[in-house]
Amino acid sequence: MIRRSLIHDPEVWDQMLLQLPAPHILQTWLWGTFKAGYGWRPFRWVWKDERGRVRAAAQALYRRDRLGLLGIFYLPRGPLLDPSDTEAAEAVLCDLEEEARRHRAVLVRIDPEVVEAEGPAAEGPCDPVEVPLKTVLQRRGWRSSAESVQFPASLWLDLTASEEELLQAMHPKTRYNIRLAERKGVRVRPVGPEAFDLLYDLYVETAARDRFVIRPRAYYRQAWTMFYEAGYARPLLAEVEGEPVAMVMIYRFGPTAWYFYGASRDRHREKMPNYRLQWEAIRWARAVGCRRYDFWGAPAVPAESDPLWGVYRFKRGFGGRYVRFIGTWDYTPWPALYRLYIGLIPRYLAWLRRRHWRRVGVEPGPHAGLRNPLD
């Protein structure tokens, strides 16, 4: 028998997450606390068996939808469980369905980081992975959603290898660019909250150049400061002769480090600061005991026509393994309202994007409809 309980203690919650396969930072207590400042109400449930063993956990964020009409639950990169544990999956999904009815939510949306295909980064997914969780979802009437919140795929780098082995596994051009940056005087150093305004300015410059939407300064200052003070974030700044040229913000929890935010200026790009910056981030993650470096975001099907292709090509040069996830799944107690919701909301968001680009007076670029899922 698997039973659910509601957790109210931050330390207990995060320790329970670490007992599960692949605990994710978007399921940590701190992430729920951060999102609570932006209209979400977090619920944190854990499922244990009769021996007291943690079988699953789920941080569910609840709010009214963007139009203020309907309630929704969203589980960022959750629930957490062994995807082959069908007994736990049945218990978790059953309870989530009950919560949807209890809170009169038009949908429960999940996007667990469960791999369905993987392969070398240069080739894309070539090896399908058996996913019992997907079978349980289909049997219980959950729907695969075309509206993804998180990225559909990523690149994972195994940090259990030595630094020399990591370098040798890279694309030769990537390895060359790392060393070129060193010869050209690119320096990378850790920074703290005193530099967050500068990091945001770099992010704004990048958004303007690549024409994608970002949030106001206060949002990032809070996200970065909260996780930095908790020891979960590592900001790194690249400089050329003392001039800031690029930044990354790396988050970590348990065995994984994530490349969440990155930005760069056009100046000194020929010195390849982004390559040196990424390599130093990888070295730091390995030094603090992480076993995986998650490059956070790749196309569902790698192709040059995809808006993420340029970023993907940069990331794959570091030698990670391509992984594609099972995607986003929805449950609704009210199918008619759900169909109305998924029909209206995308149109509403498209209208907001068009209004934004008209207001700033530029033509949207290939990334205009994209936003970092963390935003």
Q: How far apart are CA 22 and CA 324, in angstroms?
A: 15
- Concatenate the DSSP letters of all residues of 305-365 into one string: TSTTHHHHHHHHTT--EEEEE--EEEE-S-HHHHHHHHHHHHHHHHHHHHHHHHHHT----
Q: Would you say the C-alpha torsion 100, 101, 105, 106 has a positive or negative sign?
A: positive
Report the length, in residues, of the chain.
375
Q: Domains of the chain (ranges plus CATH)?
A: 3-149+326-360 (3.40.630.30), 160-290 (3.40.630.30)
Single-letter amino acid, residue 209:
R
Paired residues of 232 in beta bridges? none
Per-residue pLDDT of the chain (375 residues), as tens digits, is: 899 999 999 999 999 999 999 999 999 999 999 999 999 999 999 999 999 999 999 999 999 866 667 899 999 999 999 999 999 999 999 999 999 999 999 999 999 999 999 998 766 667 788 899 999 999 999 999 988 889 999 999 999 999 999 999 999 999 999 999 999 999 999 999 999 999 999 999 999 888 888 999 999 999 999 999 999 999 999 999 999 999 999 999 999 999 999 999 999 999 999 999 999 999 999 999 999 999 999 998 888 888 889 899 999 999 999 999 999 999 999 998 888 878 776 665 566 656 655 665 555 544 444 445 555
Give pTM, 2 decimals.
0.91
CA angle 194, 197, 199 (to 5 degrees): 100
